[in-house]
Homo-oligomer: A and B are copies of this chain.
Amino acid sequence: MAPATADLSPLVRTLERHAAFAPADRDAVLALPFQVRALTPLAALSRAGQATRCCHLMLDGYAARYKLLPDGTRQILNILVRGDLSGLGHALFGLADHDVEMATSGRVATVSADAIEALAAARPAVARALWAETLFEGAIQREWIVNVGRRNARARLAHLLCEIAVRQDQAGLGGGRSLDLPFTQQMIADCAGLTSVHVNRVLQRLRRDGLIAGESRRVRIADWPALASEAGFDDGYLRTPRESAGRETLAAA
Contact = CB atoms under 8 A, between A and B. Distances in A.
Interface of A: 65, 67, 69-71, 73-75, 77, 88-89, 92-95, 97-98, 117, 120-121, 124, 127-128, 130-132, 134-139, 141-146, 148-151, 192-193, 232, 236-237, 240-241
Interface centre among A148, A149, A193 (most CB of B within 10 A): A149
Q: Specify the main secondary structure of chain A where it touches its partner.
A: helix
A92 B132 contact: yes
Given A77-B142, A141-B145, A145-B145, 16 more contacts: A67-B142, A69-B151, A73-B150, A75-B145, A75-B146, A77-B145, A89-B136, A93-B132, A93-B241, A94-B241, A98-B142, A134-B134, A134-B135, A145-B148, A148-B193, A149-B192
Contacts of A148: 145, 148-149, 193
A1 to B, nearest CB: 29
Contact of A131 (B73, B134, B149): B134
Contact of A93 (B94, B98, B135, B137): B135
